[in-house]
Amino acid sequence: MQKMVSLCKRRSFIFQSSEIYGGLRSCYDYGPLGVELKRNVKDQWWRTVVHGREDVVGIDASIIMHPRVWEASGHVSGFTDPLVDCKKCKGRFRADKISTETASLKCPDCGNEDPKKFSEIRRFNLMFETHLGAVEDSASVVYLRPETAQAMFVDFEVVQAAGRLKLPFGIAQIGKSFRNEIVVEHFIFRSCEFEQMEVEYFTRPGEADKWFEHWKEERISWYTGLGIRPEKLRFREHSADERAHYAQACFDIDYEFPWGWDELEGIANRTDYDLKKHSEASGKDLTYFDPQTHEHITPYVIEPSAGADRSVLAFLLDAYTEEPPPPGTKNPRTVLRLDPRLAPTKVAVLPLKKNKPELVAVAREIVRGFFEKGINAFYDEKDSIGRRYRRQDESGTPFCITVDFQSLKDRTVTIRHRDSMKQDRIGIEDATPIVADKVF
Ligand code: GAP
């Protein structure tokens, strides 16, 4: 994990926010490579669950919603974690995370097990509260959303009616969520500001189990289809006392992170809980008129809920490889074997020598050709060719194109493949189609 964190900083993927002021706990910034990777993850998710299906549409809702949304959804009263302080070392923890098999507490930092040396367990609401408008009174309290899901329930009727959508159908959204987590941990795994990629899939109640299985399979295939090794993924069913207040059934897709198996995505059967709660609280009819049975029904909801940041972390960790030094070199090779569709830079274009204007001119012409096709290319002329290859390997760039003296004679270049390090000689005109074939 430490190697990944330092590579992320070195290559400007992800680093601590506000570093010049000492950094801010649990807040991270995505640099030039990180933002491309994260955008690619989100684009792939959108392509698969929205553009790749007839039955899902997208929305982009406001982060701040009417405060009554969170009362009706149960978040104001129920979205809490149990907070406990260790009086010995002054550490602060989630009580459920540090309780032992015998239900007593053990401090993970100092090992304290004396019940008298722990504070009372207090319930702590995870929602960030702020005020809308100039006056900070109780009437102006609003919350930063802790999940994107509620907008899909609140907007259910308007989206369904406008699109004349027939059950089953889904509403999808990607966006920021905020939780005042007691424990922030493992780099971007658990932070206070993160992005979710969620679908609320509305079904007839009797068909909910079938669609639950469908989404479990769809979602795990999405990760493996983008290169995560299947043996690093598993389903884990939530026990009854672990499930969220709204869920009848819930499975996590877990990834085997360096600290052990942990949640990547949750897939829940939220039943008709949310639509009914919002209908009661708002007085609006949130039922669906079923043209088959001529009845008004409240649909059940299957919710695959993924974290964009956790997905980025899993894709990075799974792609990270250290290899013995390639022939003729001394240092081990670090490679990010990212799927070309996720790779931040798709291709690097390298003139063999920077002080040869004729090589530079051809390399620049090739870069322009990639840009015209919307392919994120990178021009690099600094250092030896070997060092430039290493930098691109570490950044996950799937292709390097080298312009050499032969290129000037016959308009051919070499294309180097990141994973195999194999080099092929190709015509300049073939470079764009070869790369485009793999990166879209
Ligand atoms: N709408 C359901 C929901 O929000 P969740 O299991 O609390 O369910 C879904 O969150 C996903 O959001 C998680 O599987 C994880 O990927 C991501 N997530 C949740 N809390 C997070 C945090 N504090 N930091 C980063 N990602 C988080």
For ligand 1, the distance from its centroid to the CA atom of residue 92, given in whole angstroms, is 21
Nearest CA to ligand 1 atom 24: 190
Q: Which of 196, 242, 246, 311 to mutate to test the pocket of ligand 1 (most atoms within 8 A of CB)?
A: 196
pLDDT > 80? residue 368: yes
Mean pLDDT (the chain, rounded): 95
Which region among 132-141, 280-289, 403-412, 429-438 has the lowest average model confidence (pLDDT)? 132-141
Report the atom number in ligand 1 closest to the C-alpha of 268: 2
Q: Residue 104 carries which DSSP code?
A: -
Q: Is the pLDDT of residue 285 over 90?
A: yes
pLDDT for the residue numbered 254: 98
Atom of ligand 1 nearest to the CA of 190: 24
Q: How far apart are CA 341 and CA 436, in angstroms?
A: 10
Q: What is the pLDDT of residue 243?
A: 86
Question: Ligand 1 pocket check: which of 79, 186, 236, 310 to mutate, most ligand atoms within 8 Å of Cβ?
Answer: 310
For residue 364, the model assigns a pLDDT of 97
Distance 346 CA to ligand 1 centre (A): 30
pLDDT of 39-96, one tens digit each? 999 999 999 999 999 999 999 999 999 999 999 999 999 898 899 999 999 988 999 8
252 alpha carbon to ligand 1 midpoint, in Å?
11
Nearest ligand 1 atom, CA 310:
16
CA of 307 to the centre of ligand 1 (A): 6
Ligand 1: which residue has its CA nearest to atom 2? 305
Q: Separation of 403 CA from ligand 1 center, angstroms? A: 46
Q: How many CB atoms lie within 10 A of CB 51?
A: 10
State the distance from the centre of ligand 1 to the C-alpha of 110, rounded, in angstroms: 29
Residues having CB within 6 Å of any atom of ligand 1: 147, 149, 179, 181, 190-191, 194, 196, 198, 263-266, 303, 305-307, 309-310
Structure tokens at 253: 């897709």
Q: Could you tell me the pLDDT band of residue 327, with boundaries at 50, 70 and 90?
A: confident
Residue 348: its pLDDT value, please? Answer: 98
Contact 389, 416 (CB under 8 A): yes
What's the pTM?
0.95
- pLDDT in the model for residue 291: 87
Q: Using CA atoms, how far apart are residues 8 and 273, in angstroms rounded to an integer?
A: 41
Helix (H, G, I), strand (E, B) or coil at 224: helix
- Report pLDDT digits (tens) over 10-46: 999 999 999 999 999 889 999 999 999 999 999 999 9
Region of 195 please: left (phi>0), alpha (psi -120 to 50) or beta: beta
CA of 199 to the centre of ligand 1 (A): 13
Q: What is the pLDDT of residue 378?
A: 98
C-beta separation of 328 from 312 below 8 A: no
Confidence at residue 382, expressed as pLDDT on a 0 to 100 scale: 95
Among the residue ranges 32-46, 123-137, 263-277, the one predicted with the least confidence is 123-137
Task: From the CA of 189, give the closest atom in ligand 1.
Answer: 25
User: What's residue 40's pLDDT?
Assistant: 98
Which atom, in ligand 1's list, is nearest to the CA of 148?
1
Give pLDDT, residue 248. Answer: 87
Q: What residue owns the CA closest to ligand 1's atom 18? A: 307
- Whose C-alpha lies nearest to ligand 1, atom 22? 190
Alpha carbon nearest to ligand 1 atom 17, residue: 307
- Sign of the four-CA dihedral 237, 240, 243, 249: positive
Q: What DSSP line would sit under 276-325, residue for residue?
A: HHHHHHH-----EEETTTTEEE--EEEEEEEEHHHHHHHHHHHHEEEEPP
Q: Which atom of ligand 1 has the smallest separation from the CA of 311?
A: 16
Shortest-distance atom of ligand 1 to CA 184: 23
Dist CA 48 CA 311 (whole Å): 15
Which residue's CA is the nearest one to ligand 1's atom 20? 190
The residue whose C-alpha atom lies closest to atom 25 belonging to ligand 1 is: 190
CA of 235 to the centre of ligand 1 (A): 16
Average pLDDT over residues 336-350: 98
d(CA 288, CA 169): 12
pLDDT tens for 206-264 read 999 999 999 999 999 999 999 999 999 999 999 988 888 788 899 999 999 999 999 99
Residue 335 pLDDT: 97
- Give the pLDDT confidence score for residue 135 in this predicted structure: 86
Instruction: Report d(CA 116, CA 98) in Å as an integer.
Output: 15
Max distance between CA atoms of the chain, in angstroms, equals: 82
Which residue's CA is the nearest one to ligand 1's atom 5? 266
With a pLDDT cut of 70, the percent of the chain lying above it is 100
Q: For 392-435, write each residue's pLDDT tens digit.
A: 999 999 999 999 999 999 999 999 999 999 999 999 999 999 99
**Centroid of ligand 1 to alpha carbon of 63 (angstroms):** 16
